[in-house]
Amino acid sequence: MRNLVWATSKHDVYLMSQFSVTHWSSLTCTRSEVLNVSGHVAPSEKHPGSLLEGFTHTQVSTLAVKDNLLVAGGFQGELICKHLDRPGVSFCSRTTYDDNAITNAI
């Protein structure tokens, strides 16, 4: 479970559960889905180096959240960036195409 839970404050926690990044608020005791990677995920913004075709069924191995930016890394070198205050995914890339491409930390 290392690197799959991220607290941005004492009231806000982001966690990975069943192909979904979820935000949990200790103030309201509510959960809300932030990013679902069970299906196709593609960037809604155009940036140099971003893979416009995106990814399908990404198995997330690590995540980080800071300053309204969520970054998730996958078991096959996927890198997905999402601004929490905007709809859609901002950036998709692959760190490597090697067979052993797991993202261990961001």
Where are the strands (E) in 67-104, listed by range? 69-74, 78-83, 91-94
Give tens-digit pLDDT for 44-65: 989 999 999 999 999 999 999 9
d(CA 37, CA 74): 10
- Give pLDDT, residue 99: 78
Cα distances from 35 to residues 44, 98, 99, 100, in angstroms, run 13, 26, 26, 25
- Give pLDDT, residue 1: 58
- Hey, how many other C-beta atoms are within 10 angstroms of the C-beta on 5? 13
- Report percent pLDDT > 70 for the chain: 98
* Residue that is written with structure tokens 């090697």 in the block: 98
For 5-94, the fitting CATH number among 1.10.150, 2.70.98, 1.10.3470, 2.40.10 is 2.40.10
Would you kindly state where each structural domain of the chain is located, as residue ranges?
5-94
d(CA 90, CA 46): 8
Distance of CA 61 to the CA centre of its chain: 10
Q: pTM value?
A: 0.91
